[in-house]
Structure 1
C-alpha cells in the first residue's frame, strides 16, 4: 500500500463526550492518521488529550449560526494530508477507517468515498472499554444499526454511486486535489441543510467519482433529533431556496414536503413561499425519544 498522509477533519459545537469518543477511535486505528483537525464553532476550545499518537490542531470558526460550509473549508485549507477524511464529531470510527481511506484512494484516485455508518442508541455509560481509552468494539458491533435507506456494505470493497445526492457530511473521504477541483463548499449556506448536497453537485461537475466504501464502519453516537427538524425551519427554507437558485431544483424535499403539509410553506417547481413559522409548541412536539436513532 502506497504511503499517503491522512488528515481527519471534524467540526464541533458542544458534544465534548462525542469528541472524546471520536478521538479514542482514532487512537485505536490500525494505521494512525497524520493529524486531526478540530474546527470548533464555540467560544471555548474543546478539550483534547495531551498524549495522542498524532497531532491535534484546533481551529476556531467565527459565526453564531452553524457555519458548517465555512468550517469545512477552513479545516481543508489547513490540512496537511494528501487525503481528507471528514468525520462528524458524533462518529466513532472502527480501527480500519484510515487504512481503508488509503486503500480506496490507491485504487481510485479521483474517488469520493462514503463509508458505512451504523447508528447507536442512547447510552449514558458511553461506548469505551474498561480502560476508558479505546472503543468497546463488541458493544459497538452489537448495538450499531444501519439506516434502512442505506446499503449493506459488509461484503463490499467499493461500489459506484450514480446519484451525487447521496453524499453526506457524517463521513466522506477524498483527496485534497479532488476537494480543490470542486472549489470546496459554498459558504453562503449557513445553518442546517443543503451545503453537502450542493457540494455533491460541485463534485459531479468537476468530474469526480462517488463510491460506497466497505471494510470500515463509522458508529454514529446518539443525540436527540427532531422529525421534522422544525428548530431549523428558517435555515432549511433559506438554504433550499439558495440551492434552487444555483441548480434549478429543490433539495431536502422530504422536509419541505412535511413543512407544506403542516401549512408552513407553499412550494411549486419554481417558488417557495413561507406562510407562517412553526410555534414553540410545534417544535417541541417533533422532539424524538432516545430510542429514535435517525431521521
Structure 2
C-alpha cells in the first residue's frame, strides 16, 4: 500500500538524549498522556553520563503499556542520534522532539493531521514558553514573530527538530541529518532545505505546541546565537540560495549580521578623512533602525520586553557577525571535508 494514502499513519516519536535527567521523565509522562498515543517511542541515549538510559528503563517498567525502544551509543551529537533512532523506528511517520520539551496533550495529533494530504512530507510544530526570565520571554517572542512569517505561506522550507515530523520513507530517501553538525546548530534546517530543494512540501502546524526551556541568561542566549551563526556557513555552502531567503529567518536579521561584520573594518575609515567617522556611525545607525520593526511588534505583546529589545538585537547583530566570521575563517566554505552532505547513506 502507498504509505501516503494509508488512512492512519503510524507514528514513532524519536527523542535524542544527552544527560537529560528528570526532564526525560516529564517528557515521557507527557507523551504517554497524548490524545493520540505514539505507536512507539524511541529514546536514543547519546553517551549520557547521568544514567539517562536507566531513567528511561525505570520509566518503561512503570509504563509497560507503552512501546519504548532504548538505544545507547557513544556520544556522536543529536544529528547522529536522530538518524540512529529513525533507523530503529517502525512508524510511517517519524516525529522528533527534544528531551527538554513538554508537549501539550494534543501535540502528536496536531503533528500527524497535516499528513492527511499525501503531498505533505514534513511538519513543523511550535514553541511555547512559561519561563519567568526576561531573556527567555524575549527569545519566545523572537520565535513567535518568525511564526507570523510562516503562517503567511502555504508551505515552508525550514523545520526545527524540537517539534518536527517527516514521512520516514522520505527521511531515508533524502539521507537524514548531516552528521558533521556536532551540536544542535543547524542540521535540522539543512535537512529541510534539502527537501525543499527537491520540491517537496512541508507545512507549519501552529497549534502543535511544546513547552521549551529557552536560554535564561543573556550569556546563554548570545552563546546560542554565536554557534548558530558559525554553523550557518556550512548550511549556506550547501544551500546558497537560502542565504537570501527562507521561510523562517527575517531578512532584517541577515542584514544586521552583514552590517555587524562591516562595522569593524569600517573603523579604518576614521583616520583616512575628516568624515571617516561617519562610516562606522552610519553602520551603527542602520543596525539600530533595523531593530525597530521587531521592537514595535514586540511592544504589542509586552512593553517591558520592548524596552530592552533594541539593545538585545544590537548585541545579537555583533555576536552573529563574529560567529559567522569565525566559521568563515575556519574554512567551512572551502574545506574538502565539508563538501556535499555527510549522512549514514552517503
TM-score, normalising length from structure 2?
0.60
Q: Which runs of 5+ in 2 are unaligned?
A: 1-5, 134-139, 244-248, 261-314, 331-346
Higher strand share: 1
**Counterpart selection for 2:67 from 55, 66, 74:** 55
Contact 1:10/1:87 (<8 A) preserved: yes
Give SS of 2:94's match: strand
Count, aligned residues: 242
Contact 2:11/2:94 (<8 A) preserved: yes
Give SS of 1:15's match: coil
Matching of residues 209-220 of structure 1 within 5 Å? 209-220=201-212
Measure the CA separation in 2 of the matches of 1:170 and 1:91. 7
Measure the CA separation in 2 of the matches of 1:79 and 1:250. 31
Change (3 A) 1:216 1:249: closer
Change (3 A) 1:218 1:178: same
**Counterpart selection for 1:151 from 147, 151, 175:** 147
Q: Which runs of 5+ in 1 are unaligned?
A: 124-144, 275-295
Q: Report the structure number with the largest CA radius of gyration.
A: 2
Q: Which residue of 2 aligns with 1:202?
A: 194
Change (3 A) 1:255 1:218: farther
Runs in 1 of length 4+ with deviation above 6 angstroms? 249-252
State yes or no: 1:105 paired with 2:115. Answer: yes
Change (3 A) 1:148 1:108: same
Measure the CA separation in 2 of the matches of 1:2 and 1:176. 16
CA RMSD of aligned residues (A): 3.5
**Counterpart selection for 1:191 from 145, 170, 183:** 183
After superposition, the C-alpha distances for 1:203-258 in whole angstroms (9 at most, x for unaligned) are 1123321211144321114564512116975x863x33433432346879578956
- Alpha-carbon offset, residue 273 of structure 1: 2.5
Contact 2:40/2:67 (<8 A) preserved: yes
